[in-house]
Amino acid sequence: MATEALSVSNLHAYYGDSHVLYGVSFALEARGVLALLGRNGAGKSTCISSIMGLLPPREGEIKLFGKTISGLAPEQISKLGIGLVPQGRRIFPSLSVRENLAVAAQRQTEGDKPWTLARIYDLFPRMKERQNQLAGSLSGGEQQMLAIGRGLMGNPKVLLLDEPSEGLAPLIVQEVGRTIKRLKDEGQSIILVEQNSQLALEVADQVVILNTGECAFVGTAEEVRANDDLITQNLGIFHAH
Amino acid sequence: MQSGNTLTRTVLALVAVLLIGAAGFSYVSSIRSPQFAVIQALNSLALGGLLFLLASGFSLIFGLMRLANLTHGAFFMLGAYIGANILRSYDGVNLWFAMIGAGIAVAVFGGLLERFVLRQLSSNSLGQVLVTLGMSFIVADACLMIWGGDPIPVPTPAAFQSPLRVAGFMFPTYRLVVVLCAVAAAIGLYLLLERTRLGAMIRAGVDDMQMARAVGIPVSKLFTAVFMLGAGIAGAAGVLGGPIMSAYPGLDADMLPLALIVVILGGVGSLIGAFVGSFIIGFIYTFGTALLPDLAYVILFLPMIVVIAFRPQGLFGRMSA
Ligand SMILES: Nc1ncnc2c1ncn2[C@@H]1O[C@H](COP(=O)(O)OP(=O)(O)O)[C@@H](O)[C@H]1O
Ligand SMILES: [Mg+2]
């Protein structure tokens, strides 16, 4: 059996009194990509926030390589090896590009090729050109590259990508897709949330489909690719790009 | 683009300060004497410098922690008393040593307050503000108990006692020293915030606290560090202002409202705003009390109301308070 990089079991999450996730369970295999799909409002971002510790789960357990992380503070979870590229990018607008990356750097404890400023610039040459510019002045696509770079600077064992193609021009979406593949080839374990199911299914090994806070499907990407009904029923064709 | 904007506004605001200062200066020269005006101008600058030392910490704490720390005036007074006490108790100790000692003592006090009191209320911002207000009363009462009700003078260092004579005017030297210290502190704070990784972490926390935590920035340690820094600067400023204001009961309540006006005027969380706002208020308050003592507070609140009406976030602020 493959090693589980991240396992979520029986996750219940609430915003105040409103119950949003009802016992979500799945497990991401090490060095794999798990696509987390679902309609708008299905609870994908809530799932990501719970894993990151931004919205501590009310019930259920989240484990990173066997170590329980649910209940810890986000900064501790980040130190233990989860990197977040949030929906809407949320780069620090009043910091320069370089500073956005530098503040997220963390001491590397293991791993053969740690991410450094130089390697991020290598991955996204445009970030090097713009390193002294304020991040708030970047274009949407550049902000997305920066958000991915910032997520990598912590040398995460698992990278959470929440709708990285949202609101981007088709060419930039392709570049984001290529970047995700490259990260996967380097052995990065990834949870990828996408509305663009085509992009997600191209790279994913595993798929979880959420429907109003519950898992409607948990399985392999092949099963989903072979069964168009799954997508039409659970995602709605109007979301497919 | 954004920084260009800030630059334009800084230049405009500095020009405004100079114009207000020049107008006040020439008016006062004409109705009193040029020497009187020189003294008032330097008093304005010195008060502005002290206000900056108070307001910059207040503003930084508010920007990062979203906490209006009403103990900040008490930090200033506590520093003044501790400094006065050090200078009174140990012969031959100079003012700089007293400043460092009082700054460290007040920083430690601030750190304890943040860790053991405010931290417990982190989800209750109204509770936090009320606790800081209550804490300022406790500090004021404790100072009254320990040091009594009479003002304790802080001697001006011997080197700065005699005024400078330039072009036939006398310039009170120590006022100039206070201004230089404030400018040095402003440069130091600017470099800390803009040129170090720690400063970038603080700005990241101001931009987006949750995201800062998610990239592993130890926000809780940052809170304590910034709170201690702000408290320490306020405490040291109390000693620096000692030779001008001395240490007396009510010093906290005299300084805090001025610092609040500075922060509202300059913009919450903005170092440049605190700097420009401090000198504007320094001039307005000093010349206002000298010329129209009955209307000093009206003159003081007027620019604040104008700014709130047209720029609720303050001259340099990005967030609405
Ligand atoms: N901060 C919040 N407070 C209250 N409800 C929220 C909040 N964020 C999201 N929700 C609700 O939780 C549900 C799931 O949202 P979300 O996880 O953002 O969905 P997705 O990312 O799949 O589009 C939605 O019904 C949404 O309205
Ligand atoms: Mg979402």
pLDDT at B272 > cutoff 50: yes
Residue A239, pLDDT above cutoff 80: no
Q: How far is CA A191 from CA A6, A169, B134, in A?
A: 9, 22, 48
Set of chain A residues whose Cβ sits within 8 Å of the Cβ of B2: 94, 134, 136-137
Sorted by where each begins, the domain ranges of chain B are 2-310
**Rounded-to-integer distance, Cα A32 and Cα A184, Å:** 7
Per-residue pLDDT at B38? 84
CATH number at residue A44: 3.40.50.300
Q: Which residues pair with A219 in a beta bridge?
A: A207
Q: What is the pTM (predicted TM-score) of this model?
A: 0.88
Indicate the angle between helix axes B271-291 and B34-65, nearest 10 degrees: 140
* Per-residue pLDDT at B2 exceeds 50: no
Q: Report CA(A208)–ligand 2 centroid distance (Å).
A: 15
A219: three-class secondary structure by DSSP: strand
Going by pLDDT thresholds of 50, 70 and 90, the confidence category of residue A241 is very low
B206 in contact with A, Cβ within 8 Å: yes
Helix-, strand-, coil-residue percentages of chain A, each rounded to 5:
40, 30, 35
Mean pLDDT, range B270-277, rounded to an integer: 90
pLDDT digits (tens, 9 = 90+) for A152-201: 999 999 999 999 999 999 999 999 999 999 999 999 999 999 988 889 99
User: Rounded to a whole number, what is the distance in angstroms from the first to the last CA of chain B?
Assistant: 24
The pair phi, psi for residue A232, each rounded to 5°, is -60, -40
Strand, coil or helix: A26: strand
AA letter at B317: G
Across the beta sheet with A33-38, what order do the strands follow? A82-85, A158-162, A189-193, A33-38, A206-211, A214-220
Q: Answer whether residue A221 is part of any domain.
A: yes
- Collapsing DSSP states into helix, strand and coil, what is residue A135? helix
Do residues B243 and B155 touch, judged by C-beta distance below 8 A?
A: yes
Range of the domain at A24: 1-81+191-241
Does ipTM surpass 0.90 in this model?
yes
With 0-12 / 13-18 / 19 or more C-beta atoms within 10 angstroms meaning exposed / middle / buried, residue B116 is: exposed
The closest CB to that of B2, out of A79, A137, A150, belongs to A137
- pLDDT digits over A119-132, tens only? 999 999 999 999 99
pLDDT value of position A47:
97
Chain B residues with beta carbon closer than 8 angstroms to that of A52: 214
Q: How confident is the model at residue A2 (pLDDT cuts 50, 70, 90)?
A: low
Q: Does a structural domain hold residue A127?
A: no
Q: Encode pLDDT of B64-86 as tens digits.
A: 888 899 999 999 999 999 999 99
- Burial track B221-250 (b if 16+ CB lie within 10 A, e otherwise): ebbbbbbbbbbbbbbbbbbbbbbbbbbbbe
B2-11, B131-140, B260-269, B298-307: which is most confident = B131-140
Question: Could you tell me the pLDDT band of residue A111, with boundaries at 50, 70 and 90?
Answer: low
Residue A187, both tokens: 């052995």
Instruction: Between B157 and A146, name the one with better pLDDT.
Output: A146
Looking at residue B162, its pLDDT comes to 81
Domains held by chain A: number:
1
Residue A1: the pLDDT is: 54
Q: Is the pLDDT of residue A72 over 50?
A: yes
Gap between the Cα atoms of A130 and B17, Å rounded: 36
Q: Which fold has domain B2-310?
A: ABC transporter involved in vitamin B12 uptake, BtuC (1.10.3470)
Of B2, B215, B318, the CB nearest to A103: B215
B143: tokens are: 């100072």
Weakest mean pLDDT among A27-31, A216-220, B314-318 = B314-318
Residue A75 counted as domain residue: yes
Q: Is residue A230, in this structure, part of any structural domain at all?
A: yes
Residue A173 placed within a domain: no
Task: Provide the pLDDT confidence category of residue B161 given band limits of 50, 70 and 90.
Answer: confident
Q: Is the distance from the beta carbon of residue A43 to the nearest atom of ligand 1 less than 6 Å?
A: yes
Q: What pLDDT, on a 0 to 100 scale, did the predictor assign at position B17?
A: 74
pLDDT at B1: 37
Number of helices (H), then strands (E), belonging to chain A: the values are: 10, 10
